[in-house]
Structure 1
Amino acid sequence: MSYIEFHDVVKRFGDNTVLDHISFGIEKGDLVTLLGPSGCGKSTLLRCLSGLEQVSEGRIMLDGADITEVPASKRNIGMVFQQYSLFPNMTVERNIAFGLKMQKVAQDVIDRKVREAIDMVELTGKEKAYPANLSGGQQQRAALARSIVTEPAVLLLDEPLSAIDAKLRKSLQARIREIQQELGLTTIFVTHDQDEAMVMSDVIQLFHAGRIEQAGSPVEVYTKPVSEFAASFIGSYNQLSRDEFQTMTGADVPAGHVVAVRPETIGITPDAPTPADAAGCHVVHGTVVGSTPRGNVLRYTVRVGAVTLRVDALFRSFHMFDPGQDVYLSIPKHDCLNIPEGALRSAA
């Protein structure tokens, strides 16, 4: 039995089904990310677990107990939203202490736990500051401390980093993960950012249109997409129809399948590779259409006959390809994944 279990959960708002028979489990101490585009149901599932929304059908279990009808205040679940919702008239330490005071914890225990939480989120020196005098990242950390200080059974994080700049966001991702592992805190993290999901997660649950499209470790979900949607949402796969791939490479593709290839697996060279270098690869000739810098990677767009491919290469200023330049692409055969066309699978 898993620590958290969703059994055939359905949530409707009027005629709109937002969660369509969701079933899966979460192990104690894991950080599980609900990943997917806006409107796919991931935040709604979080709110159903927290008790802020009631399910239309199904059951939710926590540590062996059915909490489907339990009021939110009785579920011992901490939650951090995109809007941190700190009390503006309270200092950092008073915001963090609020939940403990509501639980009528002894003052000496409150003082100790608040100090520990402030140290953990690295806000020492900001105890007397008010939210208006904190940066976005500091507010986020104060909200996190307020949620963990009560030692909840589960911590829910609903896109808490989406309003923070990229550099600070990466730092906070790492710190949240460190705290979660240090405390062994069962955590569910909601995001639409695949990179964030890859960095943070023990398990990714990929949502699509109210259903779970795929579940697995970050590596499993990234390298073995089960559907066209999964391949398009995680990894920016090139997806080619059966006819396109067979025409381009001469290789056989099973009927009813598309072929997905990750951009970083494709080699790009100005000259045709030697037979030794081309071993195990489909080699095709193409023309560079353009390129886009993506950090330390340069993403090329290459036209091969009627097909356009994305190809990622390390950003080396001494070896770059110009628009209109002829190139050769080496596509490893073992990186060409056959995916059922139009597949939409539910993963439990």
Structure 2
Amino acid sequence: MAYIEFRDVVKRFGDNTVLDHISFGIQQGDLVTLLGPSGCGKSTLLRCLSGLETVTEGQIVLDGRDVTNVPASKRNIGMVFQQYSLFPNMTVEQNVAFGLKMKKVDPATIERKVAEAIAMVELSGKEKAYPSSLSGGQQQRAALARSIVTEPAVLLLDEPLSAIDAKLRKALQSRIREIHQELGLTTIFVTHDQDEAMVMSDVIQLFHSGRIEQAGSPVEVYTSPVSEFAASFIGSYNQLSASDFTALTGVPVPQGNVIAIRPETIGISRERPDEKDAHLVDGTVVDSTPRGNVLRYTVRLEGGTTVFVDVLFRSFHMFDRGNKVYLSLPERDCLVIPVNAASARTAA
């Protein structure tokens, strides 16, 4: 039995169905990410688990206990919001201690636990500081300390890093992952950022329009998308229609399918490569965009189809707009995805 179970959970707001029969389990100690675009239902499910929203239908079970109608204060769940929600008139240590005081923990234990939590989020020296004097990243860490200090059964993180700059965001991703592993906390993380989900997660639950589109490890979800939506949302797959792929490669693919190919799996060269187990097509470079240590080329193929090709950014080996190039599409990386179906296979 899973530590947390969502059993056929439905949530409606009036005529709007936000969660449409959600069923899955979470193992104790896992860090599970609910990933998807805005409005897909991921934050609503988090709020249903925390008790801040009531479900319309279905059950939520935590550690063998049905908590569907249990008040939020009785669920022993910690939650960190995007807005931090620190008390402005309290110092860092007072904010962190608040939950323990509400539980009437003795002062000596409060002092010890607060010091440990503040050290864990690397805020030592800021104990007497008020939220207004802290940076966004420091405020987020204070909110995290306040949530973990009560030793919750489950920690919920609702897009806690979305308002933080990129460099600090990466550092906090790593620290949250480290704290999760140190404490062995069952953690659910909500984000719309697929890169963040890949870094943070043991398991990804990909949401789409109130349903779970795909579930699995980051590698499984990234390399084996089960639908057009999964391929477009995770990995930025190129998607070719069956007719376009057949016209380019000569390989017949039944109509009603799309061929999904990750940009980084495509080879690009000036000379026609002598490659086995790959489809060779020619094209013209129409654009290039630096993406950190990766350079993304936009290449127009015969018939007008365009694809993205990602290569390591090497200034001594670059292509200019208008250059004629050859692309190699490894057969094993050309995934045939039936439209609106839930399975994928490798193209011949």
- TM-score between both structures, scaled by the size of structure 2: 0.97
CA pair 344-11 structure 1, distance change in 2 beyond 3 A: farther
SS of the equivalent of 2:109 reads helix
- Cα distance in 1, alignment partners of residues 340 and 144 from structure 2: 40
Q: How does 1:1-80 map to 2 (within 5 A)?
A: 1-80=1-80
- Cα distance in 2, alignment partners of residues 222 and 344 from structure 1: 15
Residue 317 (structure 2) pairs with residue 322 (structure 1): no
Tell me which residue corresponds to 2:346.
none
Tell me which residue corresponds to 2:96.
96
SS of the equivalent of 1:293 reads strand
**What letter matches 2:144 in structure 1?**
L
Residue 135 (structure 2) pairs with residue 135 (structure 1): yes
**What letter matches 2:321 in structure 1?**
P
Tell me which residue corresponds to 2:249.
249
Q: Give the counterpart of 1:285 among 282, 285, 304.
A: 282
- Cα distance in 2, alignment partners of residues 342 and 271 from structure 1: 38
Q: How does 1:291-306 map to 2 (within 5 A)?
A: 291-305=288-302, 306=304
Residue 338 (structure 2) pairs with residue 337 (structure 1): no
- Cα distance in 1, alignment partners of residues 253 and 112 from structure 2: 64
- Cα distance in 2, alignment partners of residues 72 and 85 from structure 1: 17
Structure 1: unaligned runs, 5 residues or longer: none
Q: How does 1:70-219 map to 2 (within 5 A)?
A: 70-219=70-219
Question: How far did 1:253 drift?
Answer: 1.4
- Cα distance in 1, alignment partners of residues 340 and 322 from structure 2: 34
- Cα distance in 1, alignment partners of residues 342 and 82 from structure 2: 30
**What letter matches 1:18 in structure 2?**
V
**What letter matches 1:329 in structure 2?**
L
Identity %: 79
Question: How far did 1:2 drift?
Answer: 0.1
Q: Does structure 1 retain, via aligned residues, the 8 Å contact 2:243–2:255?
A: no
Question: How far did 1:343 drift?
Answer: 3.0
- Cα distance in 2, alignment partners of residues 324 and 185 from structure 1: 53
- Cα distance in 2, alignment partners of residues 237 and 21 from structure 1: 28
SS of the equivalent of 1:58 reads strand
SS of the equivalent of 1:182 reads helix
Question: How far did 1:255 drift?
Answer: 3.6
User: Per-residue displacement from partner, 1:235-289 (whole Å, max 9, x unpaired)?
Assistant: 0000011001000111121342110000000000011112xxx111001110001
Question: How far did 1:307 drift?
Answer: 1.1
Q: How does 1:231-246 map to 2 (within 5 A)?
A: 231-246=231-246
**What letter matches 2:31 in structure 1?**
L
**What letter matches 1:38 in structure 2?**
S
- Cα distance in 1, alignment partners of residues 253 and 75 from structure 2: 51
Q: Does structure 1 retain, via aligned residues, the 8 Å contact 2:35–2:194?
A: yes
- Cα distance in 2, alignment partners of residues 17 and 87 from structure 1: 34
Tell me which residue corresponds to 2:225.
225
- TM-score between both structures, scaled by the size of structure 1: 0.97
**What letter matches 1:303 in structure 2?**
R
Structure 2: unaligned runs, 5 residues or longer: 344-348
Tell me which residue corresponds to 1:313.
311
User: Per-residue displacement from partner, 1:277-310 (whole Å, max 9, x unpaired)?
Assistant: x111001110001011100000000011121010
SS of the equivalent of 2:336 reads strand
- Cα distance in 2, alignment partners of residues 199 and 128 from structure 1: 33
- Cα distance in 1, alignment partners of residues 195 and 299 from structure 2: 24
> Which deviates further from its counterpart, 306-315 or 33-42?
306-315
Question: How far did 1:344 drift?
Answer: 6.0
RMSD of Structure 2 on Structure 1 (CA) = 0.8
- Cα distance in 1, alignment partners of residues 287 and 66 from structure 2: 56
